[in-house]
Each structure stands twice: as structure tokens, then as C-alpha cells.
């Protein structure tokens, strides 16, 4: 209710300003006890050995530095994914770099992993008192050559391992040059092999097994999905997140900002992401859970992700257009 009143004001502002303002206001409201805790607990689900109070999570990118974990936890999510974080801080691409397309319920962004670096993210995680499921999404710095990308993932994995409930390997952002090449057969085989060896070492060292999940793009051909799935199974990856934002402009043609470079998210992505989830589900046959994301703008969209084969669902753009009430609606649709 409150959000539908505030939305026109926020939508008058530049998207990044609105983003900072909203999170800042929520943080203050939380600090002064003005934010009711909307924890929505249903039948708990054990997935990847983790206990999820409900199946609706926050997708990566909204809280890149883990600065707002306590506040976001009050909104009713069953899990929260922070990041993408990189080994070193970086400013990302030049502004403007986020564009709303309200006529289509969509966003185009080319932020380019703007973040304060993994060390600051860990300080923020340590400071938070959140006890729920926390995913930490890791990536590479823009100035690390793609041939050395594995080194960046290793640095981040080692640093976040103890603090994460699961680690998401982001190889699908469209805004870091050549990143999506890591989805190719040989590159992915090597990346997953290296990360699984490191996971084993870290698990022995810390006496804690932190699941690894891989986040993939929606712009993949059937053969590529088959290849990626085979590698996920071969390396015993714990889960897959499908999908990141798309390079396609179907559904926003001729609308303002449609020609801006970047990843498109929101309503135009819904069916494209569902198609990938269905294909993954058909190939993986339950070998690992699928976290479905892309264009969840309503409770029905969330239910459709589950029907397509997802075990968990994440939301980002829907939250911008619908506000936090979407979380409760989606939880109810899935759990009743
Ligand atoms: C502004 C913005 C920033 C994002 N940043 C990240 C990111 O840092 N890492 C990542 O894995 N995904 C990122 N995403 C992708 C989302 O996590 C999600 O996969 C995608 O937007 C599709 O879901 P949605 O339609 O619910 O937004 C970002 C999306 C948006 C809109």
C-alpha cells in the first residue's frame, strides 16, 4: 500500500538515486524500529542441506556490498543473495547505466559489477545479525583478463567461504566483457574443476560444507544448456541459478531506452527464463536444485517458476515495480 503511494515519486528520480534513497530510508526505518518484521515462515524446506523458511529469495545485484542485510531480512524473504562482489573494489560503468521501461515492467542495466570489493562485503556480513540463508555471489574484476578469471573466483571463494550459506558463481552478467565465455565447454570445465578442488580444501579446513551454485544466462541455445548441464553434473555442483538478465530486446522493441546496452530484466524475461528452467529440469532430472529467476512480477509468475522445475525462486525487478507486498503474495502462492 505504502509502496504504491511512493512509487510515482521514486519513478520520477533517476533509478540509481531512487535505489539508494529507498534502501537508505528502509535502513533508517529499521534502525528506529519502524519496520514491522514480515518474516514469512511456511513449511521449511531443506535444499542443498540448507534450511529455507520459504522459497522466495532476493536475487543478486540489489545489495552488492551486503550493506542492507538486516533491513532486507525484515521484508519476508526466505533467503537473501548479496553481491556480485569482486576481489578489488571497482566503480563499474559510466552513468547513466540503469534505465526503467515501465510500459513493459522492465529494466535495462549495465552497472558492470560496481562494488566495494570482497573485503568490505565480509565486514558488512560480520556486522549483520542475520541468521537466515545468505548467498554470496562472486565475479571477476573488469580489468582481470578473462584468461585469469579463475584466479578472481578463487580469491572470492576463499574469502567468503565461511560467511556464506552458499556461493553463487556468476558467469552470466552481460556487462563484464567476455564473462559469458566462461559458460563455454572448456572454460567452464576448468573453472568448475578448480573451484570444486578448492571447495573440498576449504571444507576440510573449516569443517563446513558451503554449496556452490552456478548462475547462467537466458541467452543460451539448447546444445549449450545440454553442455553446461553435463558439466554441472560431472563436477557435482550443488545447484544452478537460471537466469541472469538477457541481451534480447523482445518485448521492449520501440520503447524508450530499448536500444541502451545492457541486460534486460523484468516482465519481458519471464517466459525466456522459464524455457531455460524447463530445459534444465528435463536434463538434470533432479540431480541438483534449480533456483528460478527472471521476470517474477506476480504470484502467478512465481508459481510458474516452480511448475517449470525450480525448487526456489528469486526476485529483483518485480520488487522495483510491485514493492515488498510481492514477496508475501509469492510465498502464499507457492506454499498454499
Ligand atoms: C540493476 C540490476 C543489477 C543486477 N546486478 C546483478 C549482479 O550484480 N549479479 C548478478 O548475478 N545478477 C545481477 N542482476 C540480475 C538479477 O539478479 C536477476 O538475475 C535478473 O535481473 C532477472 O531477474 P528479475 O527479472 O527478477 O530482475 C541484476 C539485475 C538488475 C536489474
| Ligand 1 atom 19 nearest Cα | 244
Ligand 1 mean position, distance from CA 315 (Å): 9
Average pLDDT over residues 94-104: 98
Mean predicted lDDT score pLDDT of the chain: 96
Question: pLDDT digits over 215-260, tens only?
Answer: 999 999 999 999 999 999 999 999 999 999 999 999 999 999 999 9
210: confidence class by pLDDT, cuts 50, 70, 90: very high
Q: Which structural domain range is residue 26 located in?
A: 2-335
41: confidence class by pLDDT, cuts 50, 70, 90: low
**pTM of this structure:** 0.98
Per DSSP (E only), the strands in 79-163 are 79-85, 98-101, 106-109, 133-138
Q: Is beta strand 98-101 parallel, antiparallel or unpaired with respect to 106-109?
A: antiparallel
Question: pLDDT digits over 263-294, tens only?
Answer: 999 999 999 999 999 999 999 999 999 999 99
Q: Is beta strand 45-47 parallel, antiparallel or unpaired with respect to 50-52?
A: antiparallel
Q: Is the predicted pLDDT of residue 29 greater than 90, yes or no? A: no
Ligand 1 shell residues, CB under 6 Å: 59-61, 64, 84, 98, 107, 109, 111, 113, 137, 170, 173, 215, 244-245, 265-266, 269, 293-296, 315-318
Residue with more model confidence, 43 or 336: 336
Question: pLDDT digits over 179-197, tens only?
Answer: 999 999 999 999 999 999 9
336: confidence class by pLDDT, cuts 50, 70, 90: confident
Say what the pLDDT of residue 59 is. 98
Instruction: Tally the domains of the chain.
Output: 1
| Ligand 1 atom 6 nearest Cα | 61
Ligand 1, from 59, 95, 319: best to mutate by most atoms within 8 Å of Cβ?
59
Q: Is the predicted pLDDT of residue 123 greater than 70, yes or no? A: yes
CA distance linking residue 268 with residue 182, whole number of Å = 25
Average pLDDT over residues 309-317: 98
Q: What is the DSSP string of 279-325?
A: HHHHHHTTSS-EEEES---SHHHHHHHHHHT-SEEEESHHHHHH-TH
Say what the pLDDT of residue 1 is. 65
Average pLDDT over residues 111-124: 98
Question: Could you tell me if 276 and 245 are in contact, meaning their C-beta atoms sit under 8 angstroms apart?
Answer: no
Phi, psi of 232 (to 5 degrees): -60, -40
Ligand 1 mean position, distance from CA 60 (Å): 6
Neighbours of 174 (CB within 10 A): 21
Atom of ligand 1 nearest to the CA of 295: 25
| Ligand 1 atom 5 nearest Cα | 61
Whole-number percent of the chain with pLDDT over 70: 99
Ligand 1, from 56, 60, 267: best to mutate by most atoms within 8 Å of Cβ?
60
Q: Which helix (H) or strand (E) holds 333?
A: helix 325-335
Which entry of 128, 165, 172, 173 is annotated as an active-site residue? 173
Q: Is the predicted pLDDT of residue 138 greater than 80, yes or no? A: yes
Residue 173 designated active-site: yes
Q: 25 in helix, strand or coil?
A: helix
| Ligand 1 atom 11 nearest Cα | 60
Say what the pLDDT of residue 35 is. 76
CATH number at residue 275: 3.20.20.70
CA distance linking residue 204 with residue 207, whole number of Å = 5
Amino acid at each position: 500500500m505504502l509502496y504504491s503511494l511512493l512509487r510515482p515519486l521514486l519513478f520520477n528520480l533517476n533509478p540509481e538515486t531512487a535505489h539508494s534513497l529507498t534502501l537508505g530510508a528502509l535502513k533508517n526505518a529499521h534502525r528506529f524500529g519502524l519496520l514491522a518484521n514480515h518474516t514469512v515462515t511456511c513449511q521449511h524446506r531443506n535444499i542443498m542441506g540448507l534450511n529455507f523458511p520459504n522459497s522466495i529469495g532476493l536475487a543478486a545485484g540489489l545489495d552488492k556490498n551486503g550493506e542492507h542485510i538486516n533491513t532486507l531480512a525484515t521484508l519476508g524473504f526466505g533467503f537473501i543473495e548479496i553481491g556480485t562482489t569482486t576481489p578489488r573494489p571497482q566503480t563499474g560503468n559510466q552513468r547513466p547505466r540503469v534505465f526503467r521501461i515501465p510500459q513493459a515492467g522492465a529494466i535495462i542495466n549495465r552497472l558492470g559489477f560496481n562494488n566495494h570489493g570482497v573485503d568490505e562485503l565480509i565486514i558488512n556480513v560480520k556486522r549483520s545479525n542475520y541468521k537466515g540463508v545468505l548467498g554470496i555471489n562472486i565475479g571477476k574484476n573488469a580489468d582481470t583478463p578473462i584468461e585469469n578469471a579463475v584466479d578472481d573466483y578463487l580469491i572470492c571463494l576463499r574469502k567468503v567461504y565461511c560467511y556464506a550459506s552458499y556461493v553463487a558463481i556468476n558467469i552470466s552478467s552481460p556487462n563484464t566483457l567476455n564473462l559469458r565465455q566462461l559458460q563455454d565447454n572448456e572454460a567452464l570445465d576448468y573453472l568448475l574443476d578448480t573451484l570444486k578442488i578448492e571447495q573440498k580444501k576449504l571444507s576440510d579446513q573449516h569443517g563446513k560444507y558451503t554449496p556452490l551454485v552456478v548462475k547462467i544466462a537466458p541467452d543460451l541455445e539448447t546444445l549449450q544448456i545440454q553442455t553446461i548441464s553435463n558439466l554441472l553434473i560431472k563436477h557435482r555442483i550443488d545447484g544452478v541459478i537460471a537466469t541472469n538478465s538477457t541481451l534480447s530486446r523482445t518485448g521492449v522493441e520501440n520503447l524508450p531506452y530499448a536500444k541502451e546496452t545492457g541486460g534486460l530484466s523484468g516482465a519481458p524475461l519471464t517466459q525466456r527464463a522459464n524455457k531455460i528452467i524447463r530445459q534444465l529440469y528435463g536434463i538434470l532430472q533432479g540431480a541438483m536444485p534449480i533456483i528460478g529467476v527472471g521476470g517474477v512480477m506476480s504470484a502467478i509468475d512465481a508459481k510458474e517458476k516452480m511448475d517449470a522445475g525450480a525448487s526456489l525462486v528469486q526476485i529483483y525487478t518485480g520488487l522495483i515495480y510491485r514493492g515488498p507486498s510481492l514477496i508475501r503474495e509469492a510465498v502464499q502462492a507457492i506454499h498454499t
